[in-house]
Amino acid sequence: MTDTPSHDHGPSRLSISKLLALSLGSVGVVYGDIGTSPLYAFREALRPVSADGIADVEVIGLISLMLWTLTVIVTVKYVSFLLRADNNGEGGTLALLALLSGQVKERHRKFLLLAGMIGAALFIGDAMITPALSVLSAVEGLKLVAPDLSHFVLPISVVILVALFAVQAKGTGAVAKAFGPITLIWFAVMALGGIVHLADDPRVFAAINPWHAVWFVFNSGWTGFVVLGAVFLTVTGAEALYADLGHFGRRPIQWAWFAVVFPSLALNYLGQGALVLKDPAAASDPFFLMFPQWAVLPVVILATAATIIASQAVITGAFSLTQQAMHLGFLPRMRVFITSASHTGQIFLPEINAILLFGVMLLVLTFQSSESLATAYGISVTGAMVVTTVMFFDFLRLHRKWPVWLSAAIVGPLAALELIFLAANLLKVHDGGYVPILIAGLAVLMMWTWRRGAAIVVEKAGRDYIPLQSFIQSISRKSAHSAHRVAGTAVFLTSQPDATPAAMLHNLKHNHAIHETNVILTVETAATPTVPADQRGTFEHLDHGFSVVRLRFGFMEEPNVSQALAQLRKEGFKFDIMTTSFFVGRRKLVSDPNSGMPGWQDRLFISMASAAADPSDYFRLPINRVVEMGAQMSV
């Protein structure tokens, strides 16, 4: 990515050079997805109206719809309002959920949790469909260069996508530096292509008047409603504006939109409209037909590069979202690798990478063309936007303390517009739209199962609750007779700092020993993206060689326990890694039909728990200092 700016995104904190650098970076990362929409959006919007010939008024109405969809949803909702709804500088559905969950009552909190799950799940679907659709639509430009190459489109697309996912483990730092410049060139080429054709039919400028958009919708009947699903393709990728807020800051993202992205998109769509007004036959592929024959191949190559960048942005976003979901308790622990020594936001999750690759390949080989795959797009994006809008209402009402009527006045029209778009996209369920619904449904099922199963585990573990203070007093009386004190420090990881860890009880039961120094360690996830180093941990000395340590990490941070304990030395905590043993409890889960979950859900939860990353890897514990104590539990 790029250097993370200060949480204060105001111009007073950013020099002009830094602002320009961040704006350039945001052009590549934030706007990569929305910048590839002109490849297919207008083409797909024309299909429903082209059966009986394309009327000039329909072309103008469609372009007007696209321009005003960009204006209302992106410019007004995201750029002007939603970028201000940050959680200590971070954006995204789960960041907003973490901010709001502590400010609402339990019943409403459950609703927000469900909304957060749905939003996260829909983004995963988007992360599968975007690479498949974008790369296919770019490579299909080869058909115009050499029609004989049409049967190579699918193999070339597969090779590009496989290579893209293969390099994720290596990190994308070096390539990411080129994202901004390449995407800037892409936007410049799109703008130039549009400008060249504006003179084809100046009537296209009438599309700037929103009346033509309204007229088209209300006078095209059922077709006008169906077309809205394709029109919405113009704003796919808008969620990245919000999700990548923490990487670039509000001001650079806004500058990039107004100075580069919005003008380029508007000019390109106007140019495509003018071209089709002049030559209706160009409706078959208005984007690539904007360019002269000699320029098509270079534009195809540039478009392919732009779609790879757009795909990289959503893949990185999926990694980041999964990390947040793990920390917030929506998913089990997974292996997380930091691929950059200087930018902790660059992470790699091999399991998620494999799942995304499998999903993308399945989509490409099933649909085989961008035209077919475009019907599956839109539902995940519109659904995620509706979720964000609902949560934004709570942000204004609860966090900003706005009156309910004012919050509703801002959010209501946006929600109504997005619900109309969602309804139009749902018409495509039978024609491929079921794909994102199935992906999101499976993801929600897994997250719900994990939370429910984890709650059952916590509840059953609580039945064996032994107060820590009672245990300490008991040990102090019996140590001379039944428990041997051994040298060194034992750190016991537990989620209940006031309870005796099960691993400690098992160690005492089987080894009849207890360490001279015993640390009860609890790792907590804060409702903020990061936690300042001076607030990372606290410790409390108890009697008889016991102490309680609490470590706090933000939901976007790597929980490096060893490093955090070493930092506590400044506070007076004695820690020597060479004389410390970390005791970790490992439960073997078995299905119990009376646990409260159906048998199939029991088995799903147990499978997810079995696939979870080893605690020593997840918490960055030194492997040669970890002792695992096993126990069996029914769920």
Predicted local confidence at residue 10, as pLDDT: 42
pLDDT surpassing 80 at residue 454 = yes
pLDDT surpassing 70 at residue 40 = yes
Predicted local confidence at residue 577, as pLDDT: 83
Chain segment 520-567, per-residue pLDDT in tens: 999 988 878 888 888 888 888 888 889 899 999 988 788 889 889 888
Q: What angle (nearest 5°) sits at the alpha carbon of residue 281, between those of residues 275 and 287? A: 50
What 3-state DSSP class applies to 6?
coil
- 337: β partners: 348
**CA neighbor of 597 nearest in space, from 456, 447, 483:** 456
pLDDT surpassing 70 at residue 6 = no
DSSP 5: P
pTM of the model: 0.80
Domains in the chain, please, with CATH?
11-452 (1.20.1740.10), 464-634 (no CATH)
Distance CA 446, CA 444 (A): 5
H or E segment at 308? helix 293-327
Report how far apart, in Å, the C-alpha atoms of 570 and of each of 83, 148, 278, 295, 542 are.
Answer: 38, 70, 73, 63, 19
Distance CA 547, CA 187 (A): 59
Predicted local confidence at residue 529, as pLDDT: 80
Distance CA 415, CA 395 (A): 15
Q: Which residue has the tokens 């502590």?
A: 102
Tokens read off for 221: 């009947």
pLDDT band at residue 318 under the 50/70/90 scheme: confident
Chain segment 473-523, per-residue pLDDT in tens: 887 765 444 567 888 889 998 888 888 888 888 888 887 888 888 999 999
Choice between 15 and 42, residue whose per-residue pLDDT is larger: 42
Tokens read off for 101: 């969950």
pLDDT band at residue 81 under the 50/70/90 scheme: confident
Choice between 345 and 265, residue whose per-residue pLDDT is larger: 265
Pairing of strands 546-553, 626-634: unpaired
Predicted local confidence at residue 4, as pLDDT: 39
Distance CA 189, CA 538 (A): 55
Tokens read off for 188: 């410049």
Chain segment 94-137, per-residue pLDDT in tens: 888 888 877 778 788 888 888 888 988 888 888 888 888 888 88
- Please give the torsion angle defined by the CA atoms of residues 92, 97, 99 and 104, in that order, rounded to the nearest 10 degrees: 150
